[in-house]
Amino acid sequence: MATVNNLLLHKGKDVWSVQADSTVRETLQLMGEKNIGAVLVMENQKIVGIFSERDYARHSSKKGSMLLDEPIHTLMTHSVYYVSPNQTVEEVMALMTSKKIRHLPVMDNERLVGLISIGDVVKQIMSDKETTILGLENYILGRDYSG
């Protein structure tokens, strides 16, 4: 069973963040430049929230373009769930599904080590399933498999 750490080894550990007083415009520009769906919101080097495309969509229907000059802390999600590197991707998938969230920071002893998305988790689970299927096919056909 793959862990979050396995996932981070393939994905990388880059994490993009903004300060709580950054504007929505600045945050969206960063997200566009980096082609990412969420950023962590920091204050005094601590995570105080997360801002995603979904947060923007939810608020933009109410305020429109006036929203762009608002500070990001007024729109961010304040309740941030975390996972650890030793958790399985199946545990992470269950958490994301039950809480209806798409991005999770990865914390190792209170130290930020990554940010994963539902897409990262799905890719890892699919890769694991493909490996299992190949192993079973080789076993059934009597071929050597050293995966």
| Domain boundaries, given as residue ranges, for the chain | 4-141
Q: In this predicted structure, what is the pLDDT of residue 60?
A: 84
Average pLDDT over residues 50-69: 86
* H or E element, residue 129: helix 118-141
pTM of the entire predicted model: 0.84
Instruction: Determine the Cα–Cα distance for residues 20 and 37; give it in Å rounded to an integer.
Output: 17
pLDDT digits (tens, 9 = 90+) for 15-57: 999 999 999 999 999 999 999 999 999 999 899 999 999 999 8
Could you tell me which CATH class the domain 4-141 is placed in?
Answer: alpha beta
Q: In this predicted structure, what is the pLDDT of residue 127?
A: 79
Q: In this predicted structure, what is the pLDDT of residue 133?
A: 76
Q: Which residue has the higher pLDDT, 139 or 97?
A: 97
Give the pLDDT band (50/70/90) at residue 134: confident
Q: Quick one: residue 142, left, alpha or beta (phi over 0 = left, psi -120 to 50 = alpha)?
A: left
